[in-house]
Structure 1
């Protein structure tokens, strides 16, 4: 097993076999709506990872019938798919020793306001999901909208009251604040008690660009103290058929060479050091 190699890929043969070539510590399986028709195959992939000593994560499908999922959708069929697929994946997590990343929503909702009232509405929708706080479902932030950290009510009125287990996507947070490393670090500090998993990916901070580490504007030496000792993957945008994950491997090598900045975390100073 190669220390620090933490990847993402699909459950199709080409993607899965490519990731196994790198003998990663962690593999996150990105699932589609179609994959949910073949849950036995999902289980087989997780069991293969477990046999190899690789930690398995799944990523809840992002779309239903071509539209991005939203837990507050007015479409009853989308809401039904959201709940049923989450229930199925939670069962897989419980039975196969895995965890699952899930979004409350993916993009903003047009002209709908981001306010405390709607944040509380979202909180109660999440609370209604069985197992929402089990630690097996990890809730990921978006680049805009209610479940984006630029929403000033998200942490105090949703995450803290629910003690919500989190996956923090570093680039999503950075984009949500239009490229502010100070705001990113503030979020990393405030979410540290709830975040057990992270997506590490660089960005210029203006749009969802999903760059390899070192090609964007994120100051990774400030990020590193918050993610060390926790699980994370390198979630880099891939070209072509997304089979070749070498940009993720290159990002892992880049991250391994970073010196962690001296910072304050939970009131404790984290000392800068060479890896």
Structure 2
């Protein structure tokens, strides 16, 4: 199978040019709150056009992870957290507009982890919190159409690895992004469970974050340095989906760890063919 070279970086030209010299098949933009000021949004828009002008057509815009000191949680209720709710609302709609204008993709997190319990506690129970999240994702999915996808978390609001939760997610017909490390951590390092989840969701997965992990915490390791069984993962991937290596970098202007992960996976795929 062909392994795509998917690289991630910000909208800063130094990071983009570092990635583009390697001729990636996919570029995923990391965004933050500064990209959604009037000037920042214009800069992001032009950065996407620049990447497209260099021959990269498969582009994903990752919704900002943070609002101030807190994560941009879908499940945070409007009544108790109006500013956070409004930030998620407005930035998601801006990303959808940009994605439609330039025919690219935007990625929204179904949840994160650190503060999720605090927000879940605002609801009568976990089921009510999950339903609130699905209601919001349903609305975003309708607005984004074929330009939006939702990523799994390490939190009970939107996690892959539980077959019942996956059945509920599938019933909404979402376009899915699958982070391998998030599922592996949710399953406490269970490779069989990870492969089962990949197979179960395969037909609705449109994008992967390929990243290794020891299965305990959010460690974002290069492929081959954690405990994920990549030999077992490869046959479970949807060949029509895009992918990037979401690896912690020692230098944000040098994507060596992403390239090393690609070399590892390419060698493994060649050995399996």
In the superposition, the TM-score normalised over structure 1's length comes to 0.88
Find out whether 1:43 has 2:45 as its counterpart: yes
Cross-structure match for 2:107: 101
Cross-structure match for 2:96: 90
For residue 23 of structure 1, report the CA deviation from its aligned partner. 1.4
Q: Which runs of 5+ in 1 are unaligned?
A: 261-272
Determine if contact 1:87/1:130 at 8 Å carries over to the other structure: no
Q: What RMSD in Å do the two structures reach over aligned CA positions?
A: 2.1
For residue 172 of structure 1, report the CA deviation from its aligned partner. 0.5
Determine if contact 2:170/2:201 at 8 Å carries over to the other structure: no
Cross-structure match for 2:70: 67
Determine if contact 2:163/2:197 at 8 Å carries over to the other structure: no
Cross-structure match for 1:263: none
Kindly indicate whether structure 1 or structure 2 has the higher relative contact order, using CA contacts under 8 Å at least 6 residues apart.
Answer: 2
**Matched residues, number:** 260
The secondary structure found in structure 2 opposite 1:202 is coil
Among candidates 110, 113, 118, match of residue 117 of structure 2: 110
> Could you say which structure has the higher helix fraction?
2
Determine if contact 1:9/1:30 at 8 Å carries over to the other structure: yes
Structure 1 segment 1-275 matched on structure 2, within 5 A: 4-37=4-37, 38-54=40-56, 55-73=58-76, 74-107=80-113, 109-110=116-117, 112=120, 115-129=126-140, 131=142, 134-150=145-161, 153-157=164-168, 159-227=169-237, 228-240=239-251, 242-259=252-269, 274-275=272-273
Q: Which runs of 5+ in 2 are unaligned?
A: none
After superposition, what is the alpha-carbon deviation per residue over 1:102-140, rounded to whole angstroms, capped at 9, x for unaligned? Answer: 112211523747844432232112123363561311100
Determine if contact 1:133/1:162 at 8 Å carries over to the other structure: no
Determine if contact 2:161/2:194 at 8 Å carries over to the other structure: no
The secondary structure found in structure 2 opposite 1:209 is coil
After superposition, what is the alpha-carbon deviation per residue over 1:189-209, rounded to whole angstroms, capped at 9, x for unaligned? Answer: 111121110000000000000
For residue 11 of structure 1, report the CA deviation from its aligned partner. 0.7
